[in-house]
Amino acid sequence: MTEQKTYDFRNPALQAIRIERDAISALENRIDDHFIRACEVIMACKGRVVVTGMGKSGHIGHKIAATLASTGTPSFFVHPGEASHGDMGMITSQDVVIAISNSGNTSEVVTILPLIKRMGAPLISMTGNPNSTLAKEAAANLDVSVEAEACPLGLAPTSSTTATLVMGDALAVALLEARGFSAEDFAFSHPGGSLGRKLLLRVADIMHTGDRIPIVNEDTTLSGALLEISRKGLGMTTVVDATGAMTGVFTDGDLRRTLDKSVDVHTTPMRDVMTRNGRTIQPDQLAAEALNVMEGLKISALPVVDGQGALVGAINMHDLLRAGVI
């Protein structure tokens, strides 16, 4: 039987990480006047930022465009090869073009430069060669050159793509700060994510309304209130007076405390055992705020009242769970 040779995978992996780390560190000195100019050009843009690049630069370009779009700078990616066959129509004079090429002389990108210039769209380049055609034609060139690729053959784009990606993130973050982009703005770009649900979903969107609200009168007996709690399934009931105004709540916790006193469930009215001035929430508040209140008070449901204190709904922990807030 032939003995299987072992190979030290650890050292080349660590070496790759060190080379790419150094490439990222070198970017700090390149947040210069060209970077500021690039930010100013994009901030003045009345259209969208169009990112383009071939091969691995194109893959990085897709990510940069996505990051810009999700942080307040409308952006999309156009493949330079497709741009030469009709997709140039996606670019207008109101747009800004970010062209990515490590060499700065990628033929597919250089081919469309005269068209970009003719339409008057400002050009920002991200290259590893400040003397390249692309860099010279740009209003601002972001220097993403590297000392060496992490690939030991010096062939596969590794350090150079990492540096370009990080420079793109730096650009997106600088623009985000300049625009005053907020967490709620971010949530609008990510309505399907957990952050979107926490920052966009309101109590009104998931609360129980109408006949689904558990309600009993102050003179309803404890046994009657238990039937209402069971029917509505929220683990609580609201209590109202003769005018319909909410005067209290009765929860599972109130029931445990009441039973400890050995009261008669068939004769004891709600006014004697309910919690008065219980915590409520308003329909326009975030569902995440309802969650914080429930967790803070260790309760599982809340009545919902409008600005005048009128009862308009009810919400419980299961509603928040189903909505993905938890």
Identify whether residues 174 and 211 lie together within a single domain: no
Identify whether residues 228 and 159 lie together within a single domain: no
pLDDT range class, residue 14, cuts 50, 70, 90: very high
Identify whether residues 41 and 175 lie together within a single domain: yes
Question: Could you read off the pLDDT of 39-87 as tens digits, one per residue?
Answer: 999 999 999 999 999 999 999 999 999 999 988 899 999 999 998 888 8
Domain that holds residue 217: 203-322
Identify whether residues 234 and 104 lie together within a single domain: no
Q: Residue 181, Cβ neighbours under 10 Å: how many?
A: 18
What helix, strand, coil percent values describe the chain, rounded to 5?
Answer: 50, 15, 35
Distance, in Å, from the CA atom of 66 to the CA atom of 94, rounded to the nearest integer, reads 19
Is the per-residue pLDDT at 198 higher than 80? no
Share of the chain above pLDDT 70, in %: 93
Give me the CATH number covering residue 245. Answer: 3.10.580.10
pLDDT at residue 286 in the model: 87
Between 305 and 188, residue with greater pLDDT: 305
Distance, in Å, from the CA atom of 275 to the CA atom of 23, rounded to the nearest integer, reads 63
- For residue 197, being part of any structural domain is answered with no
Is the per-residue pLDDT at 224 higher than 60? yes
What's the rounded mean pLDDT across residues 211-239?
93
Structural domain count of the chain: 2
Is the per-residue pLDDT at 280 higher than 90? yes
Q: Residue 153, Cβ neighbours under 10 Å: how many?
A: 6
Identify whether residues 174 and 49 lie together within a single domain: yes
Identify whether residues 226 and 170 lie together within a single domain: no
What's the rounded mean pLDDT across residues 6-21?
92
Question: Could you read off the pLDDT of 105-115 as tens digits, one per residue?
Answer: 999 999 999 99
* Segment of 18-22, 81-85, 182-186, 255-259 carrying the highest mean pLDDT: 18-22
DSSP conformational letter for 44? T
Question: Could you read off the pLDDT of 152-191 as tens digits, one per residue?
Answer: 888 788 999 999 999 999 999 999 989 887 666 666 665 5
- For residue 207, being part of any structural domain is answered with yes
- For residue 139, being part of any structural domain is answered with yes
What's the rounded mean pLDDT across residues 200-228?
92
State how far Cα 37 lies from the chain centre: 28
- For residue 195, being part of any structural domain is answered with no
Identify whether residues 50 and 128 lie together within a single domain: yes
Identify whether residues 41 and 119 lie together within a single domain: yes
Summary mean pLDDT of the chain: 90
Give me the CATH number covering residue 65. Answer: 3.40.50.10490
